[in-house]
């Protein structure tokens, strides 16, 4: 089963990446062949993630969610957008996952993820007259919270800004980004959610308890 999931992840990574390239260049989902190094890395990464999903409960839903998170992270990194259509697909898969795994926990995760980031979105508008977070980030975190449930959703909420802060500091120190340049947050939400999903029950749970309990 693990090999089957790995093969499926590697195979589906290519069309997902090609459609992501199409959206980046055309702002619509058309098929554009990705650069070979990125395609090779995507096949390896998605194959490995989907292989791990094989050993998880409801892994047949987690695997396509990983593919969608990879597409969203790549598009946001390249052009600063989180397409509503992909977020909607993610939300539908998360809803199905929550219905099978326990809807109450998923609902608490949705409220935790979407509510916390929604609060900072509104706060930025009120205090600074601009978005502290993009509305797409709020919707993405809400969908991921529905998938992950309360504890892992809470871990993702706390972990994403930490990952983003480390990356931003590294880019500023290396002078690869200007201080006032736009900085996409979607990839760090995706990374935090994947870490929370795959590492739940270990050090990440202890990290969440230390912050919030």
pLDDT digits (tens, 9 = 90+) for 81-95: 999 999 999 999 999
For the stretch 54-111, pLDDT in tens is 989 899 999 999 999 999 999 999 999 999 999 999 999 999 999 999 899 999 999 9
For the beta carbon of residue 87, count every other beta carbon within 10 angstroms: 19
- The C-alpha angle 95, 97, 101, rounded to 5 degrees, equals 120
Q: What is the DSSP letter of 129?
A: S
Spans in the chain with pLDDT lower than 70: 201-213
Q: What is the DSSP letter of 35?
A: P
Distance from first CA to last CA of the chain, Å, rounded?
Answer: 38
pLDDT, residue 179, reads 73
- pTM for this prediction: 0.92
Q: How far apart are CA 164 and CA 160, in angstroms?
A: 6
* The pair of three-digit structure tokens given for residue 153, joined into one six-digit string: 């959703």
pLDDT, residue 190, reads 97
Residue 166 CA: distances (Å) to CA of 62, 149, 150, 154: 27, 26, 25, 19
């Amino acid at each position: 089963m693990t090999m089957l999931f790995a093969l499926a992840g590697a195979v589906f990574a290519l069309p997902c990446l090609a459609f992501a390239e199409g959206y980046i260049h055309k702002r619509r989902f058309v098929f554009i062949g990705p650069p070979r190094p990125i395609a090779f890395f995507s096949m390896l990464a998605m194959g490995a993630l989907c292989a791990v999903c094989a050993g998880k409960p409801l892994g047949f839903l987690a695997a396509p969610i990983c593919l969608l998170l990879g597409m969203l992270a790549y598009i946001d990194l390249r052009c600063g957008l989180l397409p509503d259509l992909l977020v909607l697909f993610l939300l539908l898969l998360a809803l199905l996952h929550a219905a099978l795994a326990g809807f109450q926990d998923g609902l608490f995760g949705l409220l935790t993820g979407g509510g916390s980031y929604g609060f900072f979105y509104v706060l930025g508008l009120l205090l600074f007259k601009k978005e502290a977070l993009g509305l797409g980030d709020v919707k993405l975190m809400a969908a991921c919270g529905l998938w992950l449930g309360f504890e892992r959703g809470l871990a993702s909420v706390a972990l994403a800004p930490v990952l983003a802060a480390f990356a931003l500091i590294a880019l500023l120190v290396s002078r690869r980004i200007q201080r006032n340049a736009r900085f996409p947050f979607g990839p760090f939400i995706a990374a935090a959610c994947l870490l929370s999903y795959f590492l739940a029950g270990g050090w990440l749970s202890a990290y969440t308890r230390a912050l919030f309990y």
